Amino acid sequence: MKKHFLLAAALAALLAAPASQAAPSAEAPRIVTRDGRHALLVDGKPFLILGAQAHNSSNYPAALKPVWEAARDLKANTVLMPVAWEQVEPEEGRFDFSFVDTLVREARQQNKRLVILWFGTWKNTSAQYTPAWVKLDTQRFPFNVDREGRANYSLSPFGAETLKADKRAFVALMSHLKKLDSAQRTVLMVQVENEVGTYGLVRDFSPAAQAAFEQPVPAAVLARQKPKLSASGTWREVYGDYADEYFHAWAIARYIGEIAAAGRAVYDLPMYVNNALRNPLEQPPKPWNKNFASGGPTWDVIDIYKAAAPALDIVAPDIYSPESAQVEANLRLFQRADNALWVPEIGTKPAYGRFLYAMLGRGAIGVSPFGVDYFDYSNHPLGATATDKTIVEPFERVYRMFAPIQRLWAQWAFEGRTQGIAEGDDRKPQQLDFPGWTAKLTYRLGRFGESAWGGEFAKPAAGTEEPGGGVAIAQLGPDEFLLIGHRVRVRMEPAAGTSGIMMRAEQGRFDDKGRWVMERVWNGDQVDYGLNLPAEPVMLKVKMGRPR
Ligand code: DGJ
């Protein structure tokens, strides 16, 4: 326990250089797991991805300038950028990585890290990013077919030639990255394909797929994905009404897993898949009914992906439903002892900003709003309507607090010291329980007085019409906390059956050596009604005490 709370010099050293300015290193980024928690190690230390994902069509040299501008405004340390199969292999066997060269060079100039998104066989389930020579040869590169043999729009995971060709292109990309980047490690991770699965059809019914469907479920899947009906047998015998979608998940996972493994064999970077979510509140999940992309890595088939694609480190959620209950449920479902929480996409609507506290507080290895690059395009209603600087504001507000302590926070999260939460749509009080203390949270209050006093005191504070508050808390020592948040009233209370008081609340920041710089002590009005974090985030170091 004592060791757990030893912070001191070692952690200060972690902060010595911001991650993105780290000296060249030969150590590859990797995901590590301890006590059911995960960290992305970069240059050997936990790293927090404060990401900015570019729009789908920003993967060209001439489009990069506004990407860097937006990333800088956002205070992002990492840019997530597509690299499309169609652009790197325009003719079969002729590779052109000039965009990758420009991207990596400019990222270094901009002091940004990169996550590369491989848009290959599947992008949002479709074949749109495959080269023309793939699109035009439907015999060699077959689509899924329905029960009547009619082709669907999505490529079949049983297309042996498709797999071979995608894998060859991906291996060429990873070989190129190895040459280009193994000394500097600008590229941290690679996403293999993008939002896979199939809409409108539960699985491929081609003869090859049908033959595989009638085989026994592989032991690796049986060991992980709970059987519904029988302990072994064919997919139908074991999984009943879920058989088709589970089989499709297995087929796609195996396909991507083979590509990822081949890529890692040449250049071993962390790899992951993202997904268009199914409703996380439908519990237990009903069989597929055209209501999500069948076979995609939705939360209920994470085990199938783990079994069929061990080369993938993470199954990641793309968050585009702003209802707080859904966001919370998704974070809970994707954060597992065998799956690091990583949110590669979240909509840019302002309502999403507060969820960063929940993600980073829970110990996500990172997060990235999607479509942050000032391209004159808006994906409203998924994201913000604006395309200018206003889109970064709800996220910059939070990133600006974490950016200076990104390494410290990642380390604390890995040690299990951090928690975080966003204001719920119901605006109700919440709490975060730490060893020895509980943070009681209330929303919509002014900063002076108690609502129980009635009248003006009971009226919601101006600017709280929409839910917008949140807080992330790190327990630095048994009785010491770091609070980062906005628009929330925090009361630190002793755990049930114990007594304790707040001794001191310092507002401040960390300097570039990781040392705390106190700017003022909150006392009097500023603490009489709890710690009222204002509309713009603040950082408070709070010392609690236990009077005898
Ligand atoms: C999720 C996908 O992964 C992104 O590439 C993009 O298409 C968004 N949906 C919608 O803007």
pLDDT of the residue at 2: 37
Q: How far is the centre of ligand 1, averaged over its atoms, from the C-alpha of 450 (Å)?
A: 44
383 Cα nearest atom in ligand 1? 11
Dist. CA 194 → ligand 1 center (Å): 8
The two structure tokens encoding residue 445: 């209050």
Quote the number of domains for the chain: 1
Q: Do the domain assignments include residue 502? A: no
What is the domain-level CATH number for residue 292?
3.20.20.80
Contact (Cβ atoms closer than 8 angstroms) between residue 180 and residue 101: yes
Centre of ligand 1 to C-alpha 176, Å, is 26
Q: What is the rounded distance in angstroms from the CA atom of residue 322 to the CA atom of residue 424?
A: 10
pLDDT digits (tens, 9 = 90+) for 462-488: 999 999 999 999 999 999 999 999 999
Question: pTM of the entire structure?
Answer: 0.95
Which residues line the pocket of ligand 1, CB cutoff 6 A? 56, 124, 194-195, 274, 318, 345, 370-371, 379, 382
Q: Round to whole Å and give the CA distance between 106 and 68.
A: 9
- Letter string b/e over residues 241-280, b meaning 16 or more CB atoms within 10 A of that residue's CB: ebbbbbbbbbbbbbbbbbbbbbbbeebebbbbbbbbbbeb
Residue 524 zone, left/alpha/beta (φ > 0; ψ -120 to 50; rest):
left
Within-domain flag for 371: yes
Residue 39 lies in a domain: no
Is 167 part of a structural domain of the chain?
yes
CA pair distance 46, 31, nearest whole angstrom: 9
Which atom in ligand 1 lies closest to the alpha carbon of residue 117? 5
Give domain status of residue 11, yes or no.
no
Residue nearest atom 6 of ligand 1, based on CA coordinates: 56
CB 192 within 8 A of CB 259: yes
Six token digits for residue 407? 């390494």
The Å distance, Cα 79 to ligand 1 centre, comes to 15
| Ranges under pLDDT 70 in the chain | 1-26
3-state secondary structure of 174: helix
Q: Probe ligand 1: pick from 319, 321, 379, 385, max atoms within 8 Å of CB?
A: 379
pLDDT in tens, 90-105: 999 999 999 999 999 9
| Separation between Cα atoms, residue 378 and residue 27, nearest integer Å | 38
- The answer to whether the CB of 52 falls within 8 A of the CB of 71 is yes
Return the residue matching tokens 């992305």: 40
Distance from residue 3's CA to the centre of ligand 1 (Å):
43
- Measure 124 CA to ligand 1 centroid, in angstroms: 7
**How far does the centroid of ligand 1 lie from the alpha carbon of residue 371, in Å?**
8
Rounded distance, CA 445 to CA 133, Å? 61
pLDDT digits (tens, 9 = 90+) for 334-374: 999 999 999 999 999 999 999 999 999 999 999 999 999 99
Q: In the structure encoding, which two tokens stand for residue 259, read together?
A: 């590509």
Instruction: Single out the residue of 406, 378, 381 nearest to residue 390, CA to CA.
Output: 378
Query: How far apart, in whole angstroms, are the C-alpha atoms of residue 107 and residue 77?
Result: 10
Residue whose CA is closest, atom 5 of ligand 1?
Answer: 56
The residue range of the domain holding 166 is 47-415
Tell whether 148 is covered by a domain.
yes
Q: Pairing between strand 187-194 and 113-123?
A: parallel
Q: 313 C-alpha vs ligand 1 centroid, how far in Å?
A: 21
Per the domain annotation, does 367 fall within a domain? yes
User: Cα 78 vs. chain centroid, distance in angstroms?
Assistant: 12
Q: In this structure, which residue's CA is closest to atom 11 in ligand 1?
A: 379
Residue 472 lies inside a defined structural domain of this protein: no
Instruction: Report DSSP letters for 83-147, one per residue.
Output: EEHHHH-SBTTB---HHHHHHHHHHHHTT-EEEEEEEEEEETTB-TTS-HHHHT-TTTSPEEE-T
Q: Which pLDDT value is given to residue 18?
A: 44
**Cα dihedral value 311, 270, 369, 39, nearest 10:** 110
Atom of ligand 1 nearest to the CA of 195: 3
- Of 198, 70, 173, the closest CA to residue 122 belongs to 198
Atom of ligand 1 nearest to the CA of 194: 3
Looking at ligand 1, which residue's alpha carbon is closest to its atom 10?
379
